[in-house]
Amino acid sequence: MNKELGKIERVEVGMGGYEDAMFGVSFVLGGKGWGVGDFWGTWANRNEEAKWTVKEQSEVFAETSRRLIKLLEKAQVQTVGELKGKPVEATFEDQRLKSWRLLDEVL
């Protein structure tokens, strides 16, 4: 595992994720010599072949909202736009993003 320091370079609410067919929160995190994206959300539209229900979709949207509220509170901001520039610690495993956290202790 490798940990890197960086910041939130961009955050947006809207379509994103797999082939931009999902709705949620898109993050771009970056630091010296590295950059990565992360997405919190789920499929935006359901077709008859989907293996998930609207109830399951709603549960993911609710959990995404709770995660975002916690992040806003930790960052001491009111909107997602204000997250830009906030410091983060990203953990990578085999060059893949494993997790990241806001460095609220330095805010």
- Pair of tokens at residue 45: 């539209």
- Residue 78: the pLDDT is 98
Determine contact, residues 15/22, Cβ cutoff 8 Å: yes
Determine contact, residues 27/8, Cβ cutoff 8 Å: yes
- Residue 45: the pLDDT is 96
Neighbours of 83 (CB within 10 A): 21
Determine contact, residues 5/95, Cβ cutoff 8 Å: no
Total-model pTM: 0.93
Structural domain span for residue 60: 2-106
CA distance 25 to 105: 23
| Number of domains present in the structure of the chain | 1
Q: What is the mean pLDDT of the chain?
A: 97
Determine contact, residues 87/6, Cβ cutoff 8 Å: yes
